[in-house]
């Protein structure tokens, strides 16, 4: 009897010692894993800081660790969402109106602006300026499109995580062109350095004055002055203009009563050379779909007020999205 009890006791002691060793092993493994993860974190953050110190280190780390397949994700989303036949029908209608890229994005001066015409693109991102982009994390996704279009010199520095930093085509409306004409008059002008630096960053980017042919003679002359000032600053802008007035054509196409915004204009033109389009930052409301308060623009508190019916244009984008013609991104990205 005593022998049996002793054996049982010894077996329990052995089991307890084994459990203690297992627990200690688990603790050691956990601590080692924790140290390794932190070392990786510090390594990635240091790498990003050295490579691009303007980006938030944690966001850069997240980008590299959790978004390796983002281009595959975009291609998959576009293939899944967009109805090619419906899109081609829209493209055919718009092209028949003489709104192709070769007719609406032509060199201002063929002796200087010699970049090739815009070729067909598999994927395009068109980026608006709405505050809905703040905190969206859409920047890396935007930059993975084959061609990126932005509006009215919208800032990207310090906003890369949300809006990306790649630009292939930049538009300028009448109001911005007037600002540029004023600011480039000389270093004594307060806004000279800001706008010159923003234009310098657009080295070899298509710079489209989208409503140039819709302006009167006096406004066109002012634009010519801006061009001279830009040339004098040795700015490497590939300046483009439409070959005819296009505002009324696009307004009639979409059955609008108000003037067409430059965003809707460039979207319309883009359908003629982009096979699949994602829209970001086209959201003209001061609260998000989840009720969060928003700036009007992601980079400042500018106003949506003006001659455009931005809410009607938003409803148009939503309709095209639901019909599978475009991908209209509202909210956070993957």
Of the candidates 297, 308, 321, 328, the residue annotated as catalytic is 308
308 is catalytic: yes
Complete DSSP assignment for 244-264: S--HHHHHHHTT-SSBPPHHH
**R_g of the chain computed on alpha carbons:** 27
Residues 16-36: b if buried by 16+ CB within 10 A, e if exposed: eeeeeeeeeeeeeeeeeeeee
Tokens of 323: 């019909």
> DSSP secondary-structure letter at 126?
E
Give the Cα separation of 95 and 202 in Å (integer). Answer: 28
Nearest of 35, 64, 65 to residue 51 by alpha carbon = 64
Backbone torsions φ then ψ of 277, nearest 5 degrees: -120, 130
Concatenating the DSSP letter of every residue in 168-189 gives SEEEE-HHHHHHHHHHTT-TTS
By annotation, the residues acting in catalysis are 308
């Amino acid at each position: 009897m005593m022998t049996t009890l002793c054996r049982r006791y010894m077996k329990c002691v052995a089991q307890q010692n084994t459990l203690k060793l297992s627990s200690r092993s688990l603790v050691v493994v956990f601590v080692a894993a924790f140290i390794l993860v932190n070392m990786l974190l510090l390594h990635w953050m240091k790498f990003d800081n050295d490579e691009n110190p303007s980006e938030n280190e944690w966001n850069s780390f997240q980008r590299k660790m959790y978004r390796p397949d983002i281009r595959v994700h975009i291609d998959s989303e576009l293939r899944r969402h967009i109805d090619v036949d419906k899109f081609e029908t829209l493209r055919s209608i718009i092209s028949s109106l003489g709104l192709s890229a070769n007719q609406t994005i032509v060199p201002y001066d063929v002796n200087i602006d010699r970049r090739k015409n815009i070729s067909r693109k598999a994927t395009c991102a068109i980026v608006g300026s709405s505050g809905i982009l703040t905190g969206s994390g859409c920047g890396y996704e935007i930059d993975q499109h084959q061609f990126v279009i932005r509006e009215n010199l919208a800032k990207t520095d310090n906003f890369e995580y949300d809006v990306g930093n790649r630009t292939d085509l930049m538009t300028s409306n009448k109001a911005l062109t007037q600002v540029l004409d004023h600011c480039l008059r000389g270093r004594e002008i307060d806004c000279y350095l800001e706008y010159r630096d923003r234009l310098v960053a657009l080295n070899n980017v298509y710079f489209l004055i989208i409503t140039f042919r819709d302006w009167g003679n006096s406004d066109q002359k002012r634009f010519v002055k801006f061009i001279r000032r830009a040339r004098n600053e040795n700015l490497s802008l590939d300046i483009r203009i439409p070959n005819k007035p296009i505002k009324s054509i696009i307004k009639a196409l979409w059955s609008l009563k108000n003037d067409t915004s430059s965003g809707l204009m460039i979207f319309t033109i883009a359908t003629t050379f982009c096979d699949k389009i994602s829209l970001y930052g086209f959201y003209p409301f001061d609260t998000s779909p989840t009720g969060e308060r928003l700036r009007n623009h992601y980079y400042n508190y500018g106003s949506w007020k003006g001659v455009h019916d931005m809410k009607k244009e938003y409803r148009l984008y939503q309709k095209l999205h639901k019909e599978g013609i475009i991908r209209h991104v509202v909210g956070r990205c993957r």
